[in-house]
């Protein structure tokens, strides 16, 4: 069964460094998303992406964040200058056009020290 994959599973970085989190959505899906879950808190929406552009973003998704679909399979989230409060589990998700179900990857745990 097709699934969303994410790499790395765990990323440790120092404050101020740039990180890139990678996702491979399900191959025939056209909508892509990033969510995050700070330990002990709700899963929060960051951004959605469709037709090579951002379709919606939350207040969390400020100028430090960017997304890209560099080729036909990868979908990336870049944090330019990480802060301690960026430490969280980051989930990628994808959905088929015209369908409501979003399928999630296993997540990348980002630890900023």
Q: Return the residue of 50, 65, 66, 69 that touches other proteins, per CB under 8 A.
A: 50
Note whether 35 binds other proteins by CB under 8 A.
yes
Q: Which is it for strands 103-104 and 88-95: parallel, antiparallel or unpaired? A: antiparallel
Q: How far is the CB of 105 from other proteins (least distance, A)?
A: 6
Note whether 64 binds other proteins by CB under 8 A.
no
Note whether 95 binds other proteins by CB under 8 A.
yes
Provide CB contacts within 8 A for 53, sequence distance 6+: none
Contact by Cβ (8 Å): 62, 82: no
Would you put residue 16 in left (φ > 0), alpha (ψ -120 to 50) or beta? left
Note whether 39 binds other proteins by CB under 8 A.
no
Q: Which residues bind other proteins (CB under 8 A)?
A: 4, 31, 33, 35, 41-45, 48, 50, 55-56, 58, 91, 93, 95, 97-107
């Amino acid at each position: 069964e097709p699934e969303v994959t994410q790499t790395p599973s765990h990323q440790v970085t120092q404050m101020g460094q740039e990180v890139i989190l990678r996702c491979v959505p399900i191959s025939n899906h056209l909508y892509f998303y990033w969510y995050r879950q700070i330990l002990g808190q709700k899963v929060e929406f960051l951004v959605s992406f469709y037709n090579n552009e951002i379709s919606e973003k939350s207040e969390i998704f400020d100028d430090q964040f960017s997304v890209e679909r560099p080729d036909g399979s990868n979908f990336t989230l870049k944090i330019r200058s990480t802060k301690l409060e960026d430490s969280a589990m980051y989930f990628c998700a994808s959905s088929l056009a015209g369908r409501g179900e979003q399928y999630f990857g296993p997540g990348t745990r980002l630890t900023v020290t």
